[in-house]
Amino acid sequence: MSTIDGLPPLREVIASHGLSARKALGQNFLLDLNLTAKIARVAGDLSKVDVLEVGPGPGGLTRGLLAEGARRVVAVEKDARCLPALAEIAAAYPGRLEVLNADALDVDWEARLSPPRKVVANLPYNVGTELLVRWLTPASWPPPWESLTLMFQREVAERIVAQPGGKAYGRLAVLAQWRATAKIAMGLPPEAFTPPPKVRSAVVHIEALPAPRFEADAETLSRVVKAAFAQRRKMLRAALKGLAPDIEDRLHAAGLTPTDRAEQVPIEGFCALAREIAKP
Ligand code: SAM
């Protein structure tokens, strides 16, 4: 069977390299190269971009990214069993794929990619949220990446793009939408993966804005949002009382209603409150 890049089909790659999926590493592989190329296209034009991929596994998405013309891909994979399969891809695309056998949580990825940079990944479920939060909370803005195109469990994807007023709205929505745009670009059924996970998945596409939508100190906003949603069923004045002794006055000054709950507060409201909390 011919493939988009002349390399063997992924089923053969997995069989010949003995890559049985390991649950502990969140291994659910995409074997359809048309699908991985489609995911790569969600990230937009990659021809002038260095791409960070976390968890390439047998390389389905890596091959999609390279076939779609990515200038360079740096792929960080924890499972050393995948390295020979990834080396074959690197040989087919000379000078365009660098594979690091490492834990993505420990890698200083920024230094290894030249700007502009994009992140595209079918993330391992156990570190996906942690990585997303790190990417969304760099020391300064704009961040080192232009966009993040990431596969998540559908439920996590919905939390990232959620609007105020519902259960899905929380810290992830505020972090993702304060300084970036976030949308669900495509949904995937469990059967798209080998082995199929229990739940549906979705690809989220996040693009960094040049500047935050509303002024606020990132660290203060983070504290406010964390406290507000840690006790999301409580009224704001109770959930946030640890932040300032005169929290009710500060809520009023920010234009918020102290008896509202966190999920009713739009991002603009959290930013206004962060500015009030930051005052002496
Ligand atoms: N990209 C491949 C695909 O789409 O078929 C595999 C995706 S699979 C959901 C997640 C991959 O992340 C696995 O290959 C797994 O070994 C790898 N992984 C798990 N934890 C990791 C970590 N902390 N750092 C880097 N890679 C990790």
Tens digits of residue pLDDT in 186-226:
999 999 999 999 999 999 999 999 999 999 999 999 999 99
Q: What is the pLDDT of residue 114?
A: 98
SS3 of 180-228: the string is EEEEEEEEECHHHEECCCCCCEEEEEEEECCCCCCCCCHHHHHHHHHHH
- For the chain, the average pLDDT equals 96
- Between the CA of 60 and the centroid of ligand 1 the distance, in Å, is 11
Higher-confidence residue: 50 or 124?
50
Higher-confidence residue: 280 or 254?
254
Does the beta carbon of 152 sit less than 6 angstroms from any atom of ligand 1? no
**Between β-strands 180-188 and 117-122, what pairing exists: parallel, antiparallel or unpaired?**
unpaired
Does the beta carbon of 219 sit less than 6 angstroms from any atom of ligand 1? no
Is residue 1's pLDDT more than 70? no
Per-residue pLDDT averaged across 25-39, rounded? 96
**Side chain identity, residue 137:** T
Is residue 139's pLDDT more than 90? no
Residue nearest to atom 17 of ligand 1 (CA): 55
CB 263 within 8 A of CB 165: yes
Biggest CA pair distance of the chain: 69
Q: What is the pLDDT of residue 86?
A: 98
Alpha-carbon gap, residue 207 to 16, rounded angstroms:
38
Does the beta carbon of 63 sit less than 6 angstroms from any atom of ligand 1? no
Alpha-carbon gap, residue 7 to 31, rounded angstroms:
13
User: How would residue 280 be classed by pLDDT, with cut points 50, 70 and 90?
Assistant: confident
Phi, psi torsion values for 99, nearest 5 degrees = -110, 130
Alpha-carbon gap, residue 265 to 160, rounded angstroms:
16
- Between the CA of 244 and the centroid of ligand 1 the distance, in Å, is 42
Q: What is the pTM of this model?
A: 0.96
Least confident of 4-8, 203-207, 232-236: 4-8
CB 233 within 8 A of CB 221: no
Alpha-carbon gap, residue 74 to 108, rounded angstroms:
12
Q: What is the pLDDT of residue 259?
A: 97
Q: 3-state class of 170 per DSSP?
A: coil
Alpha-carbon gap, residue 94 to 89, rounded angstroms:
9
Residue 152: partners with Cβ closer than 8 Å, 6 or more residues away: 123, 125, 128, 160, 201, 202, 204
Peptide bond into 142 cis (omega under 30): yes
Q: What is the pLDDT of residue 126?
A: 87
Domains of the chain from N-terminus onward: 10-208 (3.40.50.150), 218-278 (1.10.8.100)
CB 162 within 8 A of CB 170: yes
Alpha-carbon gap, residue 215 to 56, rounded angstroms:
37
* Token code pair at residue 157: 């994807």
The pLDDT > 90 percentage for the chain reads 96
- Between the CA of 57 and the centroid of ligand 1 the distance, in Å, is 5
- Between the CA of 125 and the centroid of ligand 1 the distance, in Å, is 9
82-132 per-position pLDDT tens digit = 999 999 999 999 999 999 999 999 999 999 999 999 999 999 988 999 999
